[in-house]
Amino acid sequence: MRSTLTLLALCTGALAACAHTSPNLEVEFISTPSPSPVFSPAVRVGNLLFLSGQIGSDASNKLVPGGLQAEARQALNNIKRVLEQNGSSLDRVVKCTVFLADMREWQDFNDIYVTYFRVRKPARSAMGATGLALGARVEIECIGVTG
């Protein structure tokens, strides 16, 4: 099994090679109207959609109550929304990276995660983090395919 850094290097190398052989490869920085984003929720490179990390926050940018499982559901719903707004879906996710505030909550997270990826299981990495935005218990980023 390759480490996350090796996988990231391979993906970055593949993108660089693709951009080198296809200098007209379109890069689109997706914007969203609110709540005062400081980053793109997604960037499209060719037919790949790179989503920024999503936490379990609602439309008012507040964490949903209920702990890890409620936050995981909301984060995955946020991911689903961004994917669908940009021509993709959960079935077209090829890679997820999961950050947990406490690795002891791994199984609680998995109980929710598997309900969103029932048929196609994307490649996945997970790691513990010493702190996440807004004090979140989980953050998830992913790569999806469009078109």
Q: What is the pLDDT of residue 36?
A: 46
Task: Look at 33 and 1; give whichever has higher pLDDT.
Answer: 33
Domains of the chain with CATH codes: 26-145 (3.30.1330.40)
Residue 125 to residue 117: CA distance in whole angstroms:
15
Residue 59 to residue 77: CA distance in whole angstroms:
12
Q: Give the predicted TM-score (pTM) of the model.
A: 0.81
Confidence bin at 39 (pLDDT 50/70/90):
confident
Q: What is the pLDDT of residues 43-60, one digit of tens each?
A: 999 999 999 999 999 989
Mean pLDDT of 71-82: 97
Instruction: Check whether 20 has a pLDDT greater than 80.
Output: no
